[in-house]
Chains A and B, each alone.
Chain A
Amino acid sequence: MSDQDEQPEHEQHFRVEGMVPTGDAIITARFDRDDSHTYDGYVSSGGYTALRKALTEMSAATVHNEIKLSEIQGRGGAGFPAGIKWGFLPEGVYPRYVVVNGDESEPGTYKDRMLMERDPHQLIEGTVLTCYAVDAAQAFLYVRGEMALAQERLAQALNEAYERNLVGRNVLGSDFSVDITLTWGAGAYIVGEETALIESLEGERGMPRLKPPFFPAVKGLYLQPTIVNNVETLANVPYIVNEGGQTFHDIGAPTSTGMRMFAVSGHVNRPGVFEVPNGVTTFRMLFEAPEYCGGVRDGRAIKAFIPGGASAPWFYEEHLDFPLDKPTVDKAGSMLGSGAIVVMDERTDVVAACWRIVRFFARESCGKCTPCREGTTWLERVLKRILDGAGRAEDLDTLLSVSENISPGLTFPPRQTTICPLGPSAVAPITSAIERFRDEFEHYIDHGVPKDGIDRHPITATGVPVHA
């Protein structure tokens, strides 16, 4: 490791500067204010105007329509248009609920925590507006357990909002009433999957439900109609209501509208979270531009990068000029997922990188489906023995065969023999790495060490215990 003793101050890079011909920062606009998390800070910078506007001038259907017009895609991973999702609620079925998914845990993802810690009122306003639009009387803000500060800031903001009648009975004197319950998890990646989150919110083990029949919009929380949306998605709602869906749609690309937050981590000079026009900024701009990441560490070449969280198949130098546009990335066989980009330079041990991602999924498999529970565990063990210098000639075939049992055909988007996409997610780094870097795996198997020019990590971890 070089420059171990330097303490970079990355946190300053949240603002978007220049380079944004089509708009300015939307949801991170307040991030440089010291008081961005307070009621006063929020209101003095235009907060809660969208809610006042909606309650006095707009019907629920009009608010919903603006969201449809904006064509905002969900920011949690799947990228499903929020306006269409809201439309799936069956008419006349009550009670219905809104659940805000703040269980951000996809490796590389670092944006929802920022939004909850730095602008909690924006999320609360977005949540109230969503409840108004879909006629829900109660919302649950589910925050990841490990995020103590986010829980604290949201609790404070919620208390302030209740005191000022921005949440509660007859919001701002209107006929509309809504309660928001702040709730939180306790450490389980899988709870970010919407049906697992619902199970967790019911006080159960966070195991996903089978879809169909358990599409949340139809049979969600307590088997009632439920809208589950990601934090970043709902944080955009006040802007859309204020400025109109068309204004939002005009930002970015027609196929990926609005601004979007991306976290770039790994071997770049200035890792950071950036809110950029969706669909038009390219990976290269993000990695190289001085206002963003400022190039790869020590001027090295990029070996691979992950475009959308640990679950995404890897990209390489030939993908650098692709825009961060959902259809473009989808077509190239990967996904933008949760906006988590991880850059690996030429000295990266890709076998170790692959193992580490697989260990994550092996640890986080909920154990409900056999191919995932057993498969991820075995994938981890085989990769670990390769790393430990005990690899066998047949190991690559074994890895691919186990992968095939979890995700038949090894395609992307994946087919799956499991209820949820966690199992196939463990397969993505394996197929990526073996296809591109087979020689590095073989070198490990033949010689017990990585090829020359690769940085090795002192991995002390023991294997993942077999599920009880």
Chain B
Amino acid sequence: MSRLTSTNISIAKEIIGRYPRPKSALIPLLHLSQEQNGYVTTEAMSHLAELLGLTPADVYGTATFYEMFKFEPVGQYCISVCTNISCQLLGAWELLEHAEARLGVKAGSTTDDGRFTLEDVECIAACTEAPAVQVNYRYRHCVTPAAFDQLVDDLSAGRLSEEVPPHGTLARVRQRTTAGWSGTATAQQATVDAL
């Protein structure tokens, strides 16, 4: 299923309502579709275009700029190893080498069983806790090779399923609809647009 579900369409409409112009909701909606499907499908992009009054090319053009959007299936767990300067200084490449051996894939690829995708990523703002890793954008600090193995074991055994949601899910708390006031700002903008 690639188009947004009816529940997600309602969420999408709430999100769109919080911006003066619909296109501003595009990135949050791409995340929503990735949350639903695990990655951003072509059909999903067409659907978002319909919802926002854009062309599919508009959606694709924006989506492809951003690293977090995946256009083909990725593992259930996307493990991102930071190798930027602070982490490099404290053993990130040694860790990545270990991770590649442990998972049997090179950075940038997914294990055959579809469980893990390994990435060599840029700074994830945990520099004082180097080397830093994220699993589906949940942090692991000061990761040693032993800690990495433990992490993979725990993920495989489902021991972290509460803490680490499937790939695509970011915040598990959503902003609730804000009625009213922003409508005024939007109306002001509409007036400006009409001039």
Residues of A participating in the B interface, judged by any CB pair closer than 8 Å: 1, 4-5, 7-8, 10-11, 94-95, 104-110, 112-113, 137-138, 144-149, 151-152, 155-156, 158-159, 162, 168-169, 177-179, 181-189, 200-206, 222, 224, 263-267, 271-273, 306, 310, 340, 342, 344, 348, 352-353, 356-357, 360, 363-364, 366, 457-461
Q: For residue B94, which residues in chain A have a CB less than 8 angstroms away from its CB?
A: 1, 457-458
Q: For residue A353, which residues in chain B have a CB less than 8 angstroms away from its CB?
A: 85, 88-89
Segment among B1-9, B109-117, B135-143, B151-159 that sits at the interface with chain A: B135-143
Q: Are A95 and B185 in contact (CB under 8 A)?
A: yes
Q: Are A105 and B123 in contact (CB under 8 A)?
A: yes
Q: For residue B137, which residues in chain A have a CB less than 8 angstroms away from its CB?
A: 145-148
User: Chain B's nearest CB lies how many Å from the CB of A129?
Assistant: 17
| B residues 58-99 in Cβ contact with A at 8 Å | 61-62, 65-69, 80, 83-86, 88-94, 96-97
Q: Are B144 and A169 in contact (CB under 8 A)?
A: no
User: Chain A's nearest CB lies how many Å from the CB of B134?
Assistant: 7
Q: Top 4 A-B pairs ranked by shortest CB distance?
A: A187-B67, A186-B66, A203-B26, A203-B23
**Distance A458 CA – B141 CA, assembled complex (angstroms):** 21
In the complex with contacts A1-B91, A148-B138, A169-B180, A203-B62 CB distance below 8 A: yes
Q: For residue B172, which residues in chain A have a CB less than 8 angstroms away from its CB?
A: 152
Q: Chain B: which residue is nearest A367 at the CB level?
A: B65
Q: For residue B96, which residues in chain A have a CB less than 8 angstroms away from its CB?
A: 460
Please name 16 pairs of A and B residues whose Cβ atoms are closer than 8 Å in the assembled complex, sorted by A.
A7-B142, A94-B188, A105-B123, A137-B188, A145-B31, A146-B125, A159-B176, A181-B175, A185-B27, A187-B68, A203-B24, A203-B25, A266-B89, A271-B127, A271-B128, A360-B122
**Distance A357 CA – B122 CA, assembled complex (angstroms):** 10
**Distance A152 CA – B142 CA, assembled complex (angstroms):** 23
Q: Chain B: which residue is nearest A1 at the CB level?
A: B91
Residues of B participating in the A interface, judged by any CB pair closer than 8 Å: 18-21, 23-28, 30-31, 52, 61-62, 65-69, 80, 83-86, 88-94, 96-97, 100, 106-107, 120, 122-130, 134, 136-139, 141-142, 144-147, 170-176, 178, 180-182, 184-185, 188-189, 192
In the complex with contacts A1-B90, A146-B134, A184-B28 CB distance below 8 A: yes
Q: For residue A363, which residues in chain B have a CB less than 8 angstroms away from its CB?
A: 122
Q: Are A206 and B20 in contact (CB under 8 A)?
A: no
**Which of A200, A202, A273, A342 interacts with B21 by CB under 8 Å?**
A202
Q: For residue A185, which residues in chain B have a CB less than 8 angstroms away from its CB?
A: 27, 66
User: Chain B's nearest CB lies how many Å from the CB of A256?
Assistant: 22
Q: Are A186 and B180 in contact (CB under 8 A)?
A: no
Q: Chain B: which residue is nearest A355 at the CB level?
A: B88
Q: Are B31 and A184 in contact (CB under 8 A)?
A: yes
**Distance A202 CA – B25 CA, assembled complex (angstroms):** 8
In the complex with contacts A1-B90, A110-B128, A458-B97, A10-B178 CB distance below 8 A: no
Q: Are A179 and B97 in contact (CB under 8 A)?
A: no
Q: Are A266 and B90 in contact (CB under 8 A)?
A: yes
Extra contacts, 12 of them, besides A272-B128, A460-B96 (Cβ < 8 A), are A95-B192, A107-B84, A113-B126, A147-B137, A187-B68, A202-B21, A222-B192, A263-B127, A266-B86, A357-B85, A366-B65, A461-B120
Q: Chain B: which residue is nearest A364 at the CB level?
A: B122
Q: For residue A183, which residues in chain B have a CB less than 8 angstroms away from its CB?
A: 19, 24, 27-28
Q: Are B68 and A146 in contact (CB under 8 A)?
A: yes
Q: Are B68 and A110 in contact (CB under 8 A)?
A: no
Q: Chain A: which residue is nearest B93 at the CB level?
A: A457
User: Chain A's nearest CB lies how many Å from the CB of B55?
Assistant: 13
**Which of A110, A152, A162 interacts with B126 by CB under 8 Å?**
A110
Q: Chain B: which residue is nearest A105 at the CB level?
A: B123
User: Chain B's nearest CB lies how many Å from the CB of A378?
Assistant: 19
User: Chain A's nearest CB lies how many Å from the CB of B39?
Assistant: 13
Q: Are B125 and A113 in contact (CB under 8 A)?
A: yes
In the complex with contacts A94-B188, A189-B122, A458-B173 CB distance below 8 A: no
Q: Are B27 and A200 in contact (CB under 8 A)?
A: yes
**Which of B62, B68, B122, B129 interacts with A105 by CB under 8 Å?**
B122
Q: For residue A149, which residues in chain B have a CB less than 8 angstroms away from its CB?
A: 138-139
Q: Are A151 and B170 in contact (CB under 8 A)?
A: yes
**Distance A314 CA – B126 CA, assembled complex (angstroms):** 21
Q: Are A95 and B84 in contact (CB under 8 A)?
A: no
Q: Are B129 and A146 in contact (CB under 8 A)?
A: no
Q: For residue A152, which residues in chain B have a CB less than 8 angstroms away from its CB?
A: 170-173
Q: For residue A264, which residues in chain B have a CB less than 8 angstroms away from its CB?
A: 128
In the complex with contacts A151-B170, A344-B89, A460-B93, A203-B27 CB distance below 8 A: yes
**Distance A151 CA – B175 CA, assembled complex (angstroms):** 9
Q: Are B170 and A148 in contact (CB under 8 A)?
A: yes
**Which of B144, B182, B188 interacts with A5 by CB under 8 Å?**
B144
